[in-house]
Structure 1
């Protein structure tokens, strides 16, 4: 089987799978409709972008439709960027300002208008034959690679900020979704880097190398999307988002330093801290796996902003760690109770507010230096 036939078969499989996954995302019942639609759009555009071998079988000569198909690649990362925003922030909505993300796509097509879109077939053929010298294609290649770099950087910055916001305001394990999105974006970055290398060979005397890399990209892309959908389908609660109006503590501090001294005096800090600790010890809100800083703020009537400064800045702990310390200490008391020796580690972690064994083990070891199992064994050995 030669390279061309392998490329066509691989493209056909990838195209079918991408379209099927996109269709599934559109019709599946979920609260995250916007996120699903945006990712489905990303899949569709990516499928169209990689369908060149099949498209060239049906359209033998250069055409406006074929060039437009190529230009659709300018929409891939803008739509992925909007998708990431919709996953991270619960209040995200599409607005007219988001149309600005389509400007590179518009600029790329306008550049091609005079000498490709608006000319006859003979001129189009001449344009493609001499593509290495065409300033429009050089402009578009520089623009697409610049766009990739900017959007990949922007996505990583959004994920970094969203994760920090989550840790400062939530106490369950859903921050792992941001770690996982980091992984997914990293893999996509590698994929685009390989595509960049492919394009270098495409405009050189080693086009056969470019075709070989293209097959690898199509196969890798197929596995990446299947991996992503498998993860999302099997973990429906993975993507727990936050309010975009929340601010990082460091930003709050910067704002207050720029305007006036911190609102809370040391005396007020002490009063609020006593109030907070009393509530934590008496009411044990940490037993709720999904407790948020907003929940505690409403319960003890301390503004979220002040409570966030108290925990994340004054105590120098993420809200996530602050809550987990109470959970771990509660678990330690259960483990130390000789009348509860028959309670399993799994039962204990759910009882104290954790919702996964991995997050429980990580938090327990961070606080005590030991895993729950080794801590229990140490206690037994000390009593012998």
Structure 2
């Protein structure tokens, strides 16, 4: 075995295939958490593993000949994954964000490019006989591809980038609406998901640049080293997957989903009886002392639909749920700090007794509401 089968760039692709497959198996077999989300992320990783495999088969230094000897039928089949991996990542993000996520009939639109391209590929390649395929592969030159294929590739990369942008939009929407349903948002860790989404978005933008560089070199005869850009992208994917695997080993998901509901503009007047009911309940039962209180379980305690409760808080009290609950907690903490017997009680204990679960939220919200830090407020009250 003196013949070199893989060079350094091929090894980067092989490592990426191995990492994606291993990560997917880990998610399906071992990872705890939301089963639906784990499966969608595993499918995304498996589809992404097909992309470097397609690159190896079509452009690998020595792997291409090995693939031809094995079977010409494996050419181009893995390239279909380009059209589906970004869609799967989008559905994974949505499955985390929305508690009631499920695929809708309109979601078939995201699969239309994949279905159209698959039909085109089957007609133009997979229905050919093996002998014809061998003749085409032996005389293949990338520069000799018809011009329309370059525009298909450019559309493909733009579509993948578009799906990545939609992931960013969904994350932004989640961060905007999370305060309407939860009073404790410090524990919601978006770091891993942001790295995943932004990392692959950067790689897709780079793929557009690579495609444009190739089109410029072939059609305009302006020499651009598009191959180097593509190779850098391959290494970026390898390191990104490595980081995500390492991060996920210690990643305990405390992701809290929100309801996926259409925006409704309510013009009916607020029921003042319900307002009074909420105020009385908050004053007498003090549900805000529960560290884990959220919109859903408060609505159950009030025996009131969560949507109605949210609308009353937003429209009548002019606050989101986060502000509404934590203002009650601030009032409770002010009361505790005024008591002489609490002079030596630590701020962590005061925070805990008032219902706060995060020191950062307690300090920030107290200073914003009162104009003093908790320590300064106690000194002022107990002079």
Q: Same fold (TM over 0.5)?
A: yes
Contact kept in structure 1, 2:366 and 2:374, CA below 8 Å: no
Q: Give, in whole Å, the separation in 1 of the partners of 2:287 and 2:246.
A: 34
Contact kept in structure 1, 2:289 and 2:355, CA below 8 Å: yes
Contact kept in structure 2, 1:116 and 1:127, CA below 8 Å: no
Which residue, 148, 153, 167 being the options, matches 2:179?
167
Q: Tell me which moved more, 163-172 or 208-217.
A: 208-217
Residue aligning to 1:198: 210
Residue aligning to 1:216: 232
Three-state SS of the structure 1 residue aligned to 2:32 is coil
Residue aligning to 2:115: 106
Three-state SS of the structure 2 residue aligned to 1:51 is helix
Instruction: Mark the CA change 1:13 to 1:336 in structure 2 (over 3 Å): closer, same or farther.
Output: farther
Residue aligning to 1:188: 200
Q: Give, in whole Å, the separation in 1 of the partners of 2:328 and 2:289.
A: 9
Q: Tell me which moved more, 177-186 or 212-221.
A: 177-186
Instruction: Mark the CA change 1:193 to 1:129 in structure 2 (over 3 Å): closer, same or farther.
Output: same
Cα offset, 1:190, TM superposition: 1.7
Write out per-residue CA displacement over residues 285-325 of structure 1, whole angstroms, 9 at most, x where no aligned residue: 11222222232233234443332221112222111111111
Cα offset, 1:228, TM superposition: 3.9
Instruction: Mark the CA change 1:16 to 1:112 in structure 2 (over 3 Å): closer, same or farther.
Output: closer
Residue aligning to 2:353: 351
Contact kept in structure 2, 1:45 and 1:76, CA below 8 Å: yes
Contact kept in structure 2, 1:108 and 1:140, CA below 8 Å: no
Instruction: Mark the CA change 1:332 to 1:220 in structure 2 (over 3 Å): closer, same or farther.
Output: farther
Cα offset, 1:334, TM superposition: 2.8
Three-state SS of the structure 2 residue aligned to 1:190 is helix
Give ranges in structure 2 of 5+ residues lacking alignment: 1-5
Cα offset, 1:227, TM superposition: 4.1
Write out per-residue CA displacement over residues 63-101 of structure 1, whole angstroms, 9 at most, x where no aligned residue: 442312222111111111111121112222346664543
Q: Give, in whole Å, the separation in 1 of the partners of 2:240 and 2:356.
A: 30
- Map 1:188-337 to 2 at 5 A: 188-203=200-215, 204=217, 209-244=225-260, 246-247=261-262, 251-253=263-265, 256=266, 261-264=267-270, 268-269=271-272, 271-337=273-339
Write out per-residue CA displacement over residues 83-123 of structure 1, whole angstroms, 9 at most, x where no aligned residue: 11211122223466645433212212323344433341355
Asked if 1:360 corresponds to 2:362, the answer is yes
- Map 1:68-87 to 2 at 5 A: 68-87=77-96
Cα offset, 1:35, TM superposition: 0.6
Instruction: Mark the CA change 1:130 to 1:252 in structure 2 (over 3 Å): closer, same or farther.
Output: closer
Contact kept in structure 2, 1:91 and 1:243, CA below 8 Å: yes
Contact kept in structure 2, 1:49 and 1:70, CA below 8 Å: yes
Residue aligning to 2:159: 147
Three-state SS of the structure 2 residue aligned to 1:50 is helix
Q: Give, in whole Å, the separation in 2 of the partners of 1:362 and 1:183.
A: 27
Cα offset, 1:32, TM superposition: 1.0
Q: Give, in whole Å, the separation in 1 of the partners of 2:367 and 2:240.
A: 33
Q: Give, in whole Å, the separation in 1 of the partners of 2:324 and 2:228.
A: 52
TM-score by length of 2: 0.81
Q: Give, in whole Å, the separation in 1 of the partners of 2:228 and 2:348.
A: 50
Q: Give, in whole Å, the separation in 1 of the partners of 2:232 and 2:99.
A: 36
Q: Give, in whole Å, the separation in 1 of the partners of 2:144 and 2:55.
A: 20
Q: Give, in whole Å, the separation in 2 of the partners of 1:212 and 1:364.
A: 54
Contact kept in structure 1, 2:356 and 2:362, CA below 8 Å: yes
Q: Give, in whole Å, the separation in 2 of the partners of 1:100 and 1:297.
A: 36
Q: Give, in whole Å, the separation in 1 of the partners of 2:117 and 2:139.
A: 16
The count of corresponding residues between Structure 1 and Structure 2 is 365
Residue aligning to 2:3: none
